[in-house]
Structure 1
Amino acid sequence: MQAPSIGGVIVPRGDGTTVVRVRQGASLTDFADKINANPASLVTVLFNLGEMATATQSLDQETFELVGAELGYDIQIVSPEEEERELFDSFNIDLETGIADEEDEDLTPRPPVVTVMGHVDHGKTRLLDAIRNADVQGGEAGGITQHIGAYQIHREHEGVDRALTFIDTPGHEAFTAMRARGAKVTDIAILVVAADDGVMPQTIEALNHAQAADVPIVVAVNKIDVEGADPMKVRGQLTEYNLIAEEYGGDTMFVDVSARQGQNIDSLLEAVLLTADAALDMRANSDRDARGVAIEANLDKGRGATATVLVQAGTLHVGDAIVAGSAYGRVRALLDEHGNTLDEAGPSRPVQVLGLSSVPRAGDTFVVAPDDRTARQIAEKREAADRQASLAKARKRISLEDLDKVIAAGKIDTLNLILKGDVSGSVEALEDALLQIDVGDDVDLRIIDRGVGAITLNNINLAMASDAIIIGFNVRAEGQNAEVAEREGVEIRYYSVIYNAIEEIEQALKGMLKPEYEEVELGTAEIREIFRSSKFGNIAGSIVRSGEIKRGTKARITRQGVVVAENVEIAGLRRFKDDVTEVREGFECGINLGSYNDLQLDDLIATYEMREKPRA
């Protein structure tokens, strides 16, 4: 029904019960598509309601409810997972992979998927080589190559030939990155700990990643053949992290191995299979369209876009139309870990797929579509949603300032923290002090990781996966790590005084954190000439190098990179004979710095202002 709306704008109206479902971070354009309206008319409606927004700007739930109430629509916000499910339902594609929705007679055993994790130089790669060599000596097909990021081996267990799939990832960064995107890939983690070194910082990081993903752990105590090896010490150290060996009354299997000597490799594989049989239901339906996850992907000069995928359910065939993230295509070839071609790949089988239109991301899910056209449509919708999500990611995942509102909305009841410091004593003292904060029953404070040294990419990945805040005490995230944290919306708080950290965390938990101020650079100008004036003092003849110079703002003067003056005011600006209020990049101007006259050629004038960061 068309009816004149506010300000004479014609928009379709609902009857108050009409339900419209839009995704989180959607724009007025997305809403307009749902109700067959002109986006410009909705911008006008929103303006008349006292809200300003562009047609492509991401809107929050309150704004959509305001528009919906005015136009007679019941607007429901759906999560990305729900939208993904609706998208595939509209194309008649079954997105379920769990055994809960499968008939028991349709399920067949599948191999467990294993990831090897641990501290650097504790023998992860050598252990994988030892597993490969043991398998080759046993005459079974398998091995590690540089062509594929996963491989299968076979092992006889209780008289039955069993397959195991190993994910050959660089450490545990990819493992956590996949989990951060919601892809549960690994069934079991092998934690490698050197018997001579014991538990090290990266060991703890790897353990935290596996426990956060709720993955069963088998501990391989490596290097038992070297001098100073003490396997029992490792068992004692890991009890502090809730990994208690079976001989101590726990439920974690510890296996003493020597990757160099090939000692006890069979026992380790047996422990993995026993853990899989005891803790997991290793079954899947192979008689259905395939679904799985991309482990890694790259652009090959000869083959084009290739992706190593792990089939989690169903069977993938050559010729299937698939979608992996925002990439799509028809499977041109399937290659195993040796580079041999396959006709099909069943559950838990890693294969390299050729024929994709572009390179998917590690952790992207893939599904088989009915035809090429459907695959392309799904990929395009996913790509549009990704673009919209990146625009909507203007706010952080969680910050101290908006913690109280997030708690009030029922979205979080635990504040996860990651502590990094310059020395172990500081980290321990900070942890003890934070855990003693009394915040009542409303919210729980949980420290999921702590360590010494700079903030690493592993810390940022764990924060992404667990919605945690990183506390840096006299340490920082530098270079690429800082860029990743900013891009992914992970908040890092830096402190040099322990009491400041304790006070801010306590105030945040109690909802009393005061707004902060941040310095925002407005522009810079380089002095090219100095003019003497008896009336105004020295005038800096300058060219604006970046941004814009505004009259009345504060400035600092730097000389060869060293700050020589702070808090200087831009008292006057002139362009030729005219007084102006601002001068933009690339233009020349005369700058009067009031009573400050200690100027030299090539000095840099940087203007800035302090802006309040209001609570979200």
Structure 2
Amino acid sequence: MSHAHEAIRIPGPISVRELAELLDESPIAVIKTLMAMGVMANINQVLDPDTAALAAEEMGHPVLLPGEEEAQETEEEAAEEEAADIEEEVEPVAEVKPTRKQRLYANERPEDLKPRPPIVAVLGHVDHGKTTLLDAIRQTRVAEGEAGGITQHIGAYQVKKQGRLITFIDTPGHEAFTAMRARGAQGADIVILVIAADDGVMPQTIEAYEHAKAAGVPIIVAVTKVDKPNANPDRVRQQAADKLGLIPEEWGGDVPFVNVAALKGQGIDELLDYILIVTDLHQDDIVANPNRSAQGVVLESELDPRQGVAATLLVLNGTLRQRDTVLAGTAYGRIRAMFNDQGKRVKEAPPSMPVRVLGLNEVPPAGQFFEVVESERAAREIVEQRKRRLEQKRSRGRITLEDVFRQLQAGQREELNLVVKADTQGTLDALIDSLHDLATEDVAVKIIRQGVGAVSESDVMLASASDAIVIGFGVKVDRVARERAEQEGVQIRTYDVIYHLLEDMEKALKGLLEPETEEFVLGTAEVRAVFKVRGGKVAGCYVLDGVIRRNAKARLIRDGEVVADTKVASLKRFQEDVAEVRQGFECGIALEGVTEYKEGDLIEAYEVREV
């Protein structure tokens, strides 16, 4: 690799990407240097040797142009350097991982995919200036005289920078961002993580980062409120590096950090420039096929008293047109009217454009995936199927630890995603180390969040979005989290013995885990008389609640204590054998292995079900 004191040889015209590799610098740093020189270049732009040399020297690298190095090098040295250059060019290519292709575009032909404006979500801790930043960005459009009408708050808007559009999701908070992911739609291409210079990394900052990381999208850090008297942007960078692993590019990392004072407009232009740079770096992912029917995500929706159901749709693929029939979950309808973020009526919306539409039959939830279908009749048929599947999903659940081995065997997953919560930091650290040790060559154990304290709704939402299982050790699950887990089909498993937890994880990976079971009480009967019969005694009972079934498991409870745990051997009404007796009726019950009953005893019938 090249160092600052070594002379860099510019072989001729060279692209920005190649120059970055040659200098061992990040492409962002090179583009930023070129911008400071007045050269607006993207990552694939070819630079002439003089411009490349100036940029390299500006970054502290001495340069040899093609005519100069021949006088200073022997042929042997030149050959060695050329071989080193070849190695240097090849090495990074071998390390590049495949780009993140969204499932949305997986079936599109590569030649049909065209670049689209990047979609940017702004996440961060409460009161760190997300809304102020979004407002400041929106003002840049007004300053450039682009508004041309009253700006409507529709949950997203577009601004123009260097003649290119950028879409901002104007719904601050990672809950909305995660809701999109939980429902299968990738809501953003780039995340701006907002951290206040006077406050630093806070719990919600960490949560927001975890959501962005789980989504696999590039991050730009906006250090806000740098104009405050107690602002300390360097401390924010240190905290981001220590707590989040986000290394600023000025420290040799690959994450852009931008100082912003939104109320004064400071840093806004630089932030927008960085968004375009990151877009160019990830240009293979930020694409769509504009020549197909539209697909996308619902950003906001409401029931307007005058207009009916109004929903903001963000088009991710295809082009949405007025009079298209849209299906979003169980909501559907033909688009009667369509408006852009400036309140202007439009006839069509290309990829990355947000529009407010009228015409749906019900209010779809934020984050719901939408698509265009042939007709309202087709939409109704799909809705009926979805409602049936939803009922099945609620009864079956989404992903359980018991499913993991089956999915591994079927090749449907290569990693076990976990959200881990523990009662103390020491326990958590030990637990994380032990869980990582369970990973094998075939299966990775991926901890997408770890923390101390009760399992929260946020934990469940992250697990839902990432197809993960929530593991709690020595902690409670709050009521809201449990309700959300039932809605989202997320499995929460809690433990008090670390050995049991690790044993279950290991069994899941090896396919040995027994299905988790839960006991359901069927009904309770009170013993009101005891009858002698041939071969023993029978309890004359009155069913207090539920139902008593023949052959069901049963407990005999006396004075609050279980004196027998057995099963219902026989069940009769008026000497007739029956399969079950319901609440409010009398019956004769004989329990297997029980010879003594007393008046006032309770018989509790139950069954064990897999959950």
**Structure 1: distance between partners of 2:287 and 2:516:** 53
2:173 is the alignment partner of 1:195 = no
Name the counterpart of 2:352.
348
Residues in 2 aligned to 1:583 and 1:165: alpha-carbon distance in whole angstroms: 64
Distance 1:385 1:534, change over 3 A: closer
State whether structure 2 residue 112 is matched by structure 1 residue 102: yes
Supply the distance in 1 between the matched residues of 2:181 and 2:445 (Cα, whole angstroms). Answer: 22
Moved more, 359-368 or 203-212: 359-368
Residue of structure 1 aligned with 2:315, choices 301, 311, 334: 311
- Of residues 243, 246, 250, the one that matches 1:243 is 246
Give me the whole-angstrom Cα distance separating, in 2, the residues matched to 1:197 and 1:208: 19
CA contact (8 A) 2:136 2:265 kept: yes
The 5 Å alignment of 1:205-284 reads 205-226=207-228, 229-239=231-241, 241-259=244-262, 262-280=265-283
Indicate conservation of the 8 Å contact 2:571/2:590, yes or no.
yes
Cα distance between partner residues in 2 of 1:396 and 1:283: 34
| 1:120 equivalent in structure 2 | 126
Residue 512 (structure 1) aligned with residue 499 (structure 2): no
The alignment status of 1:421 with 2:414, answered yes or no, reads: no
CA shift digits 1:366-391 (9 cap, x unpaired): 4455xxxx322431342244245335
> Match of 1:443, as an amino acid?
V
- Per the alignment, residue 55 of structure 1 pairs with none
Structure 1 residue runs without a partner (length 5+): 1-83, 86-94
Query: TM-score of the superposition, structure 1-length normalised?
Result: 0.69
Kindly state the Cα deviation for residue 227 of structure 1 after the two structures are TM-superposed. 6.0
Task: Indicate the residue corresponding to 2:582 in structure 1.
Answer: 584
CA distance in 2, matches of 1:335, 1:380: 25
| 1:510-565 deviations in Å (ceiling 9; x for gaps) | 3333455532211245x6xx857798999897453334466874348699xxxx33
**Aligned residue number for residue 83 of structure 2:** none
Query: Secondary structure in 2 aligned to 1:132?
Result: helix
Shift of residue 504, structure 1, vs aligned partner: 1.8
1:484 is the counterpart of 2:458 = no
Specify the alignment match of 1:403 in structure 2: 404
- CA–CA distance in structure 2, aligned partners of residues 466 and 421 of structure 1: 20
Deviation at 1:309, TM superposition (A): 0.7
| Deviations, residues 127-148 of structure 1 (Å, cap 9, x unaligned) | 3233334544554429998852
Say if 2:305 is the partner of 1:295: no
Question: Using the alignment, how far apart are the partners of 1:515 and 1:364 within structure 2?
Answer: 32
Residue matched to 2:135: 129
SS at match of 2:117: coil
**Which residue in 1 is equivalent to 2:467?**
467
C-alpha deviation, 1:215, in angstroms:
1.4
Distance 1:319 1:554, change over 3 A: closer
Tell me if structure 2 keeps the 8 A contact 1:209–1:462: yes
Instruction: Report if aligned partners of 1:558, 1:605 keep a CA contact under 8 Å in 2.
Output: no
Partner of 1:334: 338
Deviation at 1:344, TM superposition (A): 3.5
Paired residues of 1:97 and 1:313 also in contact (CA < 8 A): no
1:421-570 alignment, distance < 5 Å: 421-437=422-438, 440-514=440-514, 516-524=516-524, 542-548=542-548, 553-555=553-555, 564-566=560-562, 568=564
1:179, 1:213 within 8 Å by CA — same for their partners in 2? yes
**1:108-130 deviation digits (Å, cap 9, x = unpaired):** x6432111112333332333233
* Aligned partners of 1:195 and 1:222 also within 8 Å: yes
C-alpha contact 2:149 2:343 (8 A) present in aligned 1 = no
**Aligned to 1:186, what secondary structure does the other structure show?**
coil
Question: How far off its partner does 1:247 sit?
Answer: 0.5
Rate the CA distance shift 1:286–1:448 in 2: closer, same or farther, 3 A.
Answer: closer
The 8 Å contact of residues 402 and 508 in structure 2, kept in 1 or not, is answered as yes
Cα contact 1:115–1:167 (8 A) shared by 2: yes
Give the length in aligned residue pairs.
498
Q: Structure 1 residues 386-395 or 568-577, which shifts more?
A: 568-577
Distance 1:360 1:558, change over 3 A: farther
CA RMSD across the alignment: 4.0
Q: Are the equivalent residues in 2 in contact too, given 1:418–1:469 (CA < 8 A)?
A: yes
Is contact 2:338–2:355 with CA below 8 Å preserved after alignment?
Answer: yes
- Offset, 1:239: 3.1
The alignment partner of 1:292 has SS state of strand
Q: Distance in 1 between matches of 2:413 and 2:317?
A: 32
Cα offsets for 1:54-75 (capped at 9, x unmatched): xxxxxxxxxxxxxxxxxxxxxx
Pair 1:471–1:497, CA change in 2 (3 A): same
The amino acid of 1:184's aligned partner reads Q
1:202 counterpart SS class? helix
1:265 partner letter:
I
Per-residue deviation, residues 34-54 of structure 1 (Å, max 9, x unmatched): xxxxxxxxxxxxxxxxxxxxx
Q: Tell me the amino acid that sits aligned with residue 182 of structure 1.
A: G
**Equivalent-residue separation in structure 2 for 1:348 and 1:362 (angstroms):** 17
- What SS does the aligned partner of 1:356 have? coil
Q: CA deviation at 1:350?
A: 0.8
Q: Does the 8 Å contact 1:543/1:587 carry over to 2?
A: yes
Aligned to 1:150: 156
Amino acid at match of 1:124: K
Q: Equivalent residue of 1:342, what SS? A: coil
Q: Give 1 or 2: higher helix fraction.
A: 2
Structure 1 residues 398, 287: closer, same or farther in 2, change over 3 A? closer
Name the amino acid aligned to 1:583.
V
| Structure 2 residue identity aligned to 1:120 | V
CA offset digits 1:329-366 (Å, max 9, x no partner): 33211123354433443332211111123444444444
**Contact 1:143–1:153 (8 Å) recurs in 2:** no
Aligned mates of 2:359, 2:423 — CA distance in 1: 49
CA drift of 1:422 comes to: 2.8
Q: What CA deviation, in whole Å up to 9, does each residue of 1:151-194 have, x standing for no partner?
A: 2234xx4xx34432211235222322322333223121111123
Q: CA deviation at 1:414?
A: 1.4
List runs of 5+ in structure 2 lacking aligned partners.
Answer: 1-102
CA pair 499-424 structure 1, distance change in 2 beyond 3 A: same
The equivalent of 1:35 in structure 2 is: none
Distance 2:488 2:598 in 1: 45
Distance 1:213-1:143 versus aligned 2 partners, 3 A rule = farther
Letter matched to residue 318 of structure 1:
Q
Given the superposition, is the C-alpha separation of residues 382 and 476 from structure 1 closer, same or farther in structure 2, using an over 3 Å criterion? farther
Per-residue deviation, 1:585? 3.0
What amino acid sits opposite 1:299 in the alignment? Answer: L
CA distance in 2, matches of 1:539, 1:260: 80
Separation (CA, whole Å) in 2 of partners of 1:504 and 1:144: 58
